Amino acid sequence: MPTINRRHLIIHISFLLTLGLASCKPTGSEQKTTAIAKLTIRYMNENKPDSVYLLFGETLRKQIPVVRWASIYKKQISGLLPLKNLSLVSWKDSIGIYKVTGKIPLQIMFGNLDKDGKMNTFAALSSTETAKKTHKVATDNKLINHLDSTVDKVVSTYIQTKGNVGVSAGVLYKGKSYFYNYGERKMDTKSLPDNHTLYDIGSITKTFTSTLLALAVHQQKLTLETSITKFLPDSVAENPALQKITFKELANHTSGLPRDADNLGATVIDANQPYGNYKVKDLFSLLKHFKQTTVPGVKYGYSNLGVGLIGVLLERIYDKSYQELLRQYITLPLKMNETMCSIDSTKFSNLAQGYNSFSQPVPFYHLQAVEAAGAIKSSTFDLITYAKAQLFSSSPTLDTAIKLIHQVTFDKKPDIVGLGWYYLPDNKNVMTHTGGTGGYLSSICIDLSRQIAVVILTNNTNTGHNLGNNLITAIH
């Protein structure tokens, strides 16, 4: 899920900014913000989260209710303290980015003060590591052939950078599968991952969801042009803003639905599980009051909410859970025994520990209403099997569905979308999807013409978003 986004955010960023250098002479707004920043740092170092919360403005409090703030402070901030040497790095549009020193390099955004001098923007960002590790990271890459060397050249650049923990890579090349692993499943354990190690794959889940949707089309449960209102509760379906949204527009991100639910914040009770308490009733409540601001099908806008809704609607159509549908129609036929939405720890112990961009351990994501957007956990072994199925499937029914999801349904560069899958703007033979959760990044790239596939799974979120594209380009 898609990543969920961007991964270095731990509290809230109202919007992303291009920031210039701070002015030589501080403005009144800048001075007031700096005073608030100093007070916030002092309260955090004194372990007074309640006092910090009193500095939040009304807008920020709505986005971060007090229970959520308590969880954020305990699980994500307290481990970074103490913070020292606050200094302004840049200032623009009433928001400043400040540098602080602590256990890791850190920057914090403060600003958007209201009339009472309270802040409505507050976000912590890690500084991207560029320093190299002094030791050679462990790997099972034998460096025997040219493919081995090509993979090593791309992956080593990533894994030898400080802050990056582990990588599992799978490559389908000339009809054969190759697997490469680097680093650690868990920090400081020297436990090398392998091709059966499980990772969160985040938004790659969306391609599975689109496959289930295509199977429903094949079974004549619906068409891609069917309005979603046909399967919504009557009280929700009567919202006229939903009438023209079709299943195709949910799958190719042109529905006009927001990226994430605007009523999500009020449901968060655990900072490490932002979707863990967001239920179907909350999703339906949002849809009931949704106001459309664009014409469906015309404008691309990535939506975790939209793809999560596909899963909810398929559950209503089949009267089965998303996890049951996933197993019945995809993982069981393809014998993908290491691909699931929730992990039974009694059966699976080969797990990659996830780490956020502050090198703090975080759990696998648990999702409720939007699990179809990013709940799947998998291994490179299974995902290479999944990639093979995109090229040639032994199941005629699944093959029909796969061909449907490959068809381009939206083409306005740089966004070229099938159903779930994306195509590279400069190479429509290569389809791809990335994923990211609180402690994991993933990518899958498939060249349909050359029948090459690449899978990359990592258990941290510092960098690595482009590893998949970089590797398939190198193999080309």
- What is the average pLDDT across 280-302? 94
**Backbone dihedral angles phi then psi of residue 108, each to the nearest 5 degrees:** -130, 135
Beta strands in 193-266 (DSSP E): 199-200
Torsion of CA 62, 436, 137, 160, to 10 degrees: -80
429 with 310, same domain: the answer is yes
- What is the average pLDDT across 204-213? 98
Q: What pLDDT, on the 0 to 100 scale, is given for residue 129?
A: 64
- Asked if residue 232 belongs to a domain, the reply is yes
**Helix, strand, or coil here: 452?**
strand
122 with 263, same domain: the answer is no
> Which of 79, 98, 126 lies at the terminal end of a domain, its last residue?
126
Q: What pLDDT, on the 0 to 100 scale, is given for residue 127?
A: 59
pLDDT band per the 50, 70, 90 thresholds, residue 376: very high
At residue 293, does pLDDT exceed 80?
yes
Give per-residue pLDDT as tens, 126-177.
656 678 888 999 999 999 999 999 999 999 999 999 889 999 999 999 999 9
Residue 344 is part of a domain; what is its CATH number? 3.40.710.10
- Asked if residue 5 belongs to a domain, the reply is no
Which phi-psi region, left, alpha or beta, contains residue 464 (left: φ > 0; alpha: ψ -120 to 50)?
A: left
Query: What's the CA gap between 148 and 180, in Å, rounded?
Result: 8
> Which of 66, 96, 126 lies at the terminal end of a domain, its last residue?
126
273 with 414, same domain: the answer is yes
Query: Which CA distances in Å does 27 have to 32, 123, 472?
Result: 9, 21, 49
Query: Which CA distances in Å does 252 have to 154, 209, 317, 364?
Result: 30, 12, 20, 26
- The structure tokens listed for 12 are 């809230």
Query: What's the CA gap between 450 and 454, in Å, rounded?
Result: 12
Residue-number span of the structural domain to which 118 is assigned:
28-126
Q: What pLDDT, on the 0 to 100 scale, is given for residue 128?
A: 61
458 with 373, same domain: the answer is yes
Q: What pLDDT, on the 0 to 100 scale, is given for residue 91?
A: 87
Of the listed ranges 137-151, 176-190, 365-379, 452-466, the one predicted with least confidence? 452-466
**Helix, strand, or coil here: 205?**
helix
CA atoms within 13 A of residue 55's CA, in its CB half-sphere: 24
Q: How many domains does the chain fold into? A: 2
Asked if 245 and 228 count as a contact pair (C-beta separation under 8 A), the reply is yes
Statement: the pTM of the whole predicted model exceeds 0.75? yes
pLDDT band per the 50, 70, 90 thresholds, residue 14: very low
Beta strands in 156-272 (DSSP E): 166-173, 176-183, 199-200
| 77: DSSP letter | I
CA atoms within 13 A of residue 275's CA, in its CB half-sphere: 27
251 with 400, same domain: the answer is yes
At residue 465, does pLDDT exceed 80?
no
Please, which contacts does 50-53 make with residues 24 or more away whose CB atoms are closer than 8 Å? Answer: none
> Which of 79, 111, 126 lies at the terminal end of a domain, its last residue?
126
- Asked if residue 103 belongs to a domain, the reply is yes
Q: How many helices (H) and strands (E) does the chain have?
A: 14, 16
**Residue 20 CB contacts under 8 Å (≥ 6 apart), including other chains:** 90, 91, 92
Give per-residue pLDDT as tens, 29-41.
889 999 999 999 9
pLDDT band per the 50, 70, 90 thresholds, residue 271: confident
205 with 118, same domain: the answer is no
- Asked if residue 17 belongs to a domain, the reply is no
